[in-house]
Amino acid sequence: MIDVVSVFCRRDLTLQRLQARSIARYFERSGLGRILYIWNDTSEMPAALREELAECMDGIAFELLSASELGVDSAAIAIDGWTTQQALKLLAARRVVTDSYLVLDAKIYLVQSCSIRDFVAQDGRGIHLMEDLGKSESYQYCREYFGVDPQMGACRGVLNVTPFVLKTAVVERMLVTFEQKEGCATAETFLAHQKKLSEFLAYQAYVLSEGGKLSDLYQEARARIEVVIWGPTAQDVDEFERSMELLELGSVKVGGLHWMACCIMSAGQRARLCELWLSRGLVASAEEGQETIDSVARNLTEGDWKYLGSVGAKRKTGQILVPANSSGV
């Protein structure tokens, strides 16, 4: 059995419900534990959210928690919700009841049948593609933070993206280490090392600091299981085409849509993605799919707007964003 953790904010509400429907439809229930949804936002959790998720989950056990229930207050979220999101993914270990748990960002959804064995091997190791992390500044920072000998090598690991499998007991030990090392809560630790520590890379560095090996955590995947439409994917016509073909042809089991892509996709790209969701039973109509995407853009924070501006997107008052160099494709 494996619990699933997803941390989300107001911007992610419609994508979170899309994900919930996809889990109910496509995740084999015999290996599925509880779903832990964690609200990471300065605003109050919508009153109807629990009922809406229950309707999407079709009987799957879930728990809906606020960040404060895990020790992260609104003041910390106001500083940087992206950073508190990372801390919450780790703090969730204290609520998880399975040996490992699967972290899914709100952008992730399933497009065909899968089971625990798509994510966790028989021996309990997570199944992931392995990458060279040697050029990752965050990974190097995390190794230094935990005092890992730079001569150890072990630069081949897993990128800081979801789906991601964490061993619960390892995370719990790491949380204690953070608290003892910093003398403060985990969220405060991440804010103190903002944009340097990252949750999954820190996890891997911590295992090395304990004398373990990353091969103790992971079995290397034979092929990629997921395709995510990132902002740059939407801006690259050929890359978007390749990504959609993999999703449409069933070459991958997991899809994803980053919030930035919601804001800069062309009308044609949006329509094609909505058609995929409709064909997989994740939305009831193309119009519902469009509303799912539109809702993300309507609920951007000022921090989101600033980030989009920093990567070359421009703001249109009352409208969806378009890339600053867009030709409308």
pLDDT digits (tens, 9 = 90+) for 53-92: 999 999 999 999 999 999 999 999 999 999 999 999 999 9
Q: Three-state SS for 75?
A: helix
The DSSP symbol for 217 reads T
Q: Are residues 139 and 210 in the same domain?
A: yes
Alpha carbon 146 to its chain centroid, in Å, reads 24
Is the residue at 329 inside a domain? no
Beta bridge partners of 37: 6, 64
Q: Choose the final residue of a domain: 220, 243, 274.
A: 220
Is the residue at 6 inside a domain? yes
Q: Are residues 215 and 230 in the same domain?
A: no
What is residue 324's predicted lDDT score, i.e. its pLDDT? Answer: 41
CA atoms within 13 A on the CB side of 38: 31
Q: Which residues contact 78 (CB under 8 A, 6 or more apart)?
A: 42
Q: Choose the final residue of a domain: 220, 245, 265.
A: 220
Q: Are residues 199 and 247 in the same domain?
A: no
Task: Give which of 207, 209, 213, 121 is closest to 169, Cα–Cα.
Answer: 207
Provide the pLDDT confidence category of residue 322 given band limits of 50, 70 and 90: very low
For 45, 147, 252, 312, the CA distances from 227, given in Å and listed in that order, are 30, 34, 7, 23
The larger pLDDT score, comparing residue 156 to residue 262, is at 262
- One-letter amino acid at 294 equals D
- One-letter amino acid at 285 equals S
Is the residue at 42 inside a domain? yes
What is residue 316's predicted lDDT score, i.e. its pLDDT? Answer: 45
Q: How many CB atoms lie within 10 A of CB 42?
A: 15
Query: Residue 253 is part of which domain span?
Result: 226-323
Omega before 163 cis (within 30°)? yes
Percent of the chain with pLDDT over 70: 93
pTM of the model: 0.91
Report helix, strand and coil shares of the chain as percent, to nearest 5.
Answer: 50, 15, 35
Domain count within the chain: 2
Task: Give which of 104, 80, 107 is closest to 92, Cα–Cα.
Answer: 104
